[in-house]
Amino acid sequence: MSLIRYQPLEPMAWPSLERWSNLRDDLNSLLELPFWSSFSRHGQLFGGWSPALDLYQDKDNIVAVVELPGMRKEDIEISLHDGTLTISGERKSETSNGEKAERTERYIGRFRRSITLPTRVDANKIGATYRDGIVTVTLPKAEEAKPKQIEVK
Protein backbone atom coordinates (compact mmCIF):
# COMPACT_ATOMS: atom_id res chain seq x y z
CA MET A 1 0.00 0.00 0.00
CA SER A 2 1.38 3.37 -0.90
CA LEU A 3 0.72 6.46 1.05
CA ILE A 4 0.05 9.65 -0.76
CA ARG A 5 1.00 12.85 0.92
CA TYR A 6 -1.94 15.07 1.72
CA GLN A 7 -1.93 18.08 -0.54
CA PRO A 8 -4.17 20.89 0.53
CA LEU A 9 -6.08 22.39 -2.36
CA GLU A 10 -4.75 25.69 -3.57
CA PRO A 11 -7.36 28.39 -3.41
CA MET A 12 -8.78 28.59 -6.88
CA ALA A 13 -7.23 31.39 -8.85
CA TRP A 14 -9.36 32.48 -11.73
CA PRO A 15 -6.68 33.17 -14.33
CA SER A 16 -5.59 29.56 -14.37
CA LEU A 17 -9.16 28.38 -14.64
CA GLU A 18 -9.72 30.73 -17.50
CA ARG A 19 -6.88 29.09 -19.32
CA TRP A 20 -8.75 25.86 -18.97
CA SER A 21 -11.90 27.35 -20.31
CA ASN A 22 -9.97 28.70 -23.27
CA LEU A 23 -8.44 25.31 -23.77
CA ARG A 24 -11.89 23.82 -23.74
CA ASP A 25 -13.00 26.34 -26.35
CA ASP A 26 -10.02 25.38 -28.46
CA LEU A 27 -10.87 21.73 -28.06
CA ASN A 28 -14.43 22.46 -29.00
CA SER A 29 -13.35 24.15 -32.15
CA LEU A 30 -11.13 21.21 -33.00
CA LEU A 31 -14.09 18.99 -32.48
CA GLU A 32 -16.30 20.88 -34.83
CA LEU A 33 -16.21 18.02 -37.27
CA PRO A 34 -19.55 16.54 -38.30
CA PHE A 35 -19.18 13.45 -36.13
CA TRP A 36 -18.19 15.29 -32.98
CA SER A 37 -20.34 18.34 -33.33
CA SER A 38 -23.47 16.50 -32.28
CA PHE A 39 -21.77 15.72 -28.97
CA SER A 40 -20.13 19.00 -28.28
CA ARG A 41 -23.19 20.93 -29.29
CA HIS A 42 -25.15 19.42 -26.47
CA GLY A 43 -22.30 19.56 -24.01
CA GLN A 44 -22.58 15.88 -23.26
CA LEU A 45 -18.99 15.22 -24.12
CA PHE A 46 -18.11 17.31 -21.09
CA GLY A 47 -20.55 15.78 -18.69
CA GLY A 48 -23.72 17.76 -19.21
CA TRP A 49 -25.09 20.35 -16.89
CA SER A 50 -24.50 20.34 -13.17
CA PRO A 51 -26.02 23.54 -11.81
CA ALA A 52 -24.20 25.12 -8.86
CA LEU A 53 -25.96 24.51 -5.56
CA ASP A 54 -25.45 26.32 -2.25
CA LEU A 55 -26.90 25.27 1.07
CA TYR A 56 -27.59 27.52 4.03
CA GLN A 57 -28.77 26.65 7.50
CA ASP A 58 -30.16 28.64 10.39
CA LYS A 59 -32.06 27.48 13.44
CA ASP A 60 -35.40 27.18 11.64
CA ASN A 61 -34.66 26.48 8.01
CA ILE A 62 -32.40 24.88 5.48
CA VAL A 63 -32.22 26.90 2.28
CA ALA A 64 -30.96 25.52 -1.03
CA VAL A 65 -29.97 28.06 -3.72
CA VAL A 66 -29.47 26.72 -7.24
CA GLU A 67 -28.32 28.59 -10.34
CA LEU A 68 -30.68 27.69 -13.17
CA PRO A 69 -30.61 30.51 -15.70
CA GLY A 70 -33.14 30.69 -18.49
CA MET A 71 -35.63 28.11 -17.32
CA ARG A 72 -39.37 28.19 -17.47
CA LYS A 73 -40.80 27.89 -13.97
CA GLU A 74 -42.95 24.93 -14.97
CA ASP A 75 -39.90 23.00 -16.21
CA ILE A 76 -38.27 22.92 -12.76
CA GLU A 77 -39.08 19.92 -10.56
CA ILE A 78 -38.27 19.83 -6.86
CA SER A 79 -38.71 16.69 -4.76
CA LEU A 80 -37.75 15.37 -1.36
CA HIS A 81 -37.19 11.72 -0.68
CA ASP A 82 -35.58 10.16 2.41
CA GLY A 83 -33.86 13.38 3.40
CA THR A 84 -32.47 13.95 -0.09
CA LEU A 85 -33.50 17.04 -1.99
CA THR A 86 -33.58 16.64 -5.77
CA ILE A 87 -33.90 19.44 -8.26
CA SER A 88 -34.35 18.36 -11.84
CA GLY A 89 -35.82 19.59 -15.05
CA GLU A 90 -35.27 20.22 -18.67
CA ARG A 91 -34.10 23.18 -20.63
CA LYS A 92 -35.57 23.23 -24.08
CA SER A 93 -33.90 24.46 -27.19
CA GLU A 94 -35.41 27.58 -28.65
CA THR A 95 -33.49 27.46 -31.90
CA SER A 96 -35.83 27.29 -34.83
CA ASN A 97 -35.21 26.25 -38.41
CA GLY A 98 -33.14 28.48 -40.61
CA GLU A 99 -30.87 29.44 -37.74
CA LYS A 100 -27.32 28.27 -37.42
CA ALA A 101 -25.58 27.77 -34.11
CA GLU A 102 -22.14 29.37 -34.28
CA ARG A 103 -21.14 28.69 -30.71
CA THR A 104 -23.02 26.64 -28.19
CA GLU A 105 -21.94 26.61 -24.59
CA ARG A 106 -25.35 26.75 -23.00
CA TYR A 107 -26.57 23.31 -22.05
CA ILE A 108 -29.83 22.08 -23.53
CA GLY A 109 -31.55 19.03 -22.14
CA ARG A 110 -32.29 17.33 -18.85
CA PHE A 111 -30.39 17.88 -15.64
CA ARG A 112 -30.64 16.54 -12.11
CA ARG A 113 -29.03 17.62 -8.85
CA SER A 114 -29.43 15.87 -5.51
CA ILE A 115 -28.12 16.73 -2.09
CA THR A 116 -28.55 15.04 1.26
CA LEU A 117 -29.91 17.45 3.81
CA PRO A 118 -28.11 17.71 7.15
CA THR A 119 -31.29 17.52 9.23
CA ARG A 120 -34.86 16.35 8.88
CA VAL A 121 -37.23 18.85 7.32
CA ASP A 122 -40.98 19.26 7.25
CA ALA A 123 -41.89 18.05 3.76
CA ASN A 124 -45.28 19.75 3.88
CA LYS A 125 -43.90 23.24 4.32
CA ILE A 126 -41.31 23.44 1.56
CA GLY A 127 -41.46 26.62 -0.46
CA ALA A 128 -39.60 27.68 -3.61
CA THR A 129 -39.12 30.84 -5.63
CA TYR A 130 -37.46 31.49 -9.00
CA ARG A 131 -35.90 34.88 -9.60
CA ASP A 132 -33.05 36.18 -11.81
CA GLY A 133 -32.32 32.60 -12.87
CA ILE A 134 -31.88 31.39 -9.30
CA VAL A 135 -34.12 28.88 -7.54
CA THR A 136 -34.36 29.31 -3.78
CA VAL A 137 -35.88 26.37 -1.90
CA THR A 138 -36.76 26.97 1.74
CA LEU A 139 -37.10 23.80 3.82
CA PRO A 140 -38.34 24.36 7.38
CA LYS A 141 -36.64 22.03 9.82
CA ALA A 142 -38.75 19.34 11.42
CA GLU A 143 -39.63 20.17 15.03
CA GLU A 144 -37.42 17.41 16.42
CA ALA A 145 -34.43 18.69 14.45
CA LYS A 146 -34.57 22.23 15.82
CA PRO A 147 -32.14 23.13 18.55
CA LYS A 148 -33.81 23.21 21.93
CA GLN A 149 -32.97 25.17 24.98
CA ILE A 150 -33.38 23.08 28.09
CA GLU A 151 -34.24 25.11 31.08
CA VAL A 152 -32.51 24.17 34.31
CA LYS A 153 -34.88 24.24 37.18
Partner 1 sequence: MNTLVRENRDTERAQSEQFIAPSASVVEAGDGYTLEVEMPGVNKDGLEISVENNELTIVGRRSRPGVEGKLIHRESRSENYRRAFELDPSIDADKITAKIDQGVVTLTLPKAEHVKPRKIAVS
State which residue, 36 or 43, has the beta carbon closest to partner 1: 43
Element (H, E) at 4: none
Which of 27, 31, 45, 63: binder of partner 1 (CB under 8 A)?
63
The strand pairing partners of 86, in sequence order, are 79, 114
**Number of other CB atoms surrounding residue 39 within 10 Å:** 12
Does the footprint of partner 1 cover residue 31 (CB under 8 A)? no
* Alpha carbon distance 78, 65 (integer Å): 12
> How far from 141 is each of 32, 62, 67, 122, CA to CA, in Å?
49, 7, 23, 6
CB 42 within 8 A of CB 105: no
**Binding window for partner 1 (CB under 8 A); candidates: 49-57, 78-86, 120-128, 143-151:** 49-57
Does the footprint of partner 1 cover residue 88 (CB under 8 A)? no
State which residue, 27 or 71, has the beta carbon closest to partner 1: 71
Does the footprint of partner 1 cover residue 74 (CB under 8 A)? no
* Alpha carbon distance 24, 47 (integer Å): 13
Amino acid identity, position 111: F
Nearest to 61 by CA among 1, 136, 150: 136
**Binding window for partner 1 (CB under 8 A); candidates: 3-11, 80-88, 129-137, 144-152:** 129-137
Does the footprint of partner 1 cover residue 144 (CB under 8 A)? no
Does the footprint of partner 1 cover residue 65 (CB under 8 A)? yes
For binding to partner 1 (CB under 8 A), which residues are involved?
14, 17-18, 21-22, 25, 52-58, 61-63, 65, 67-71, 95, 98-107, 115, 118, 130-134, 136
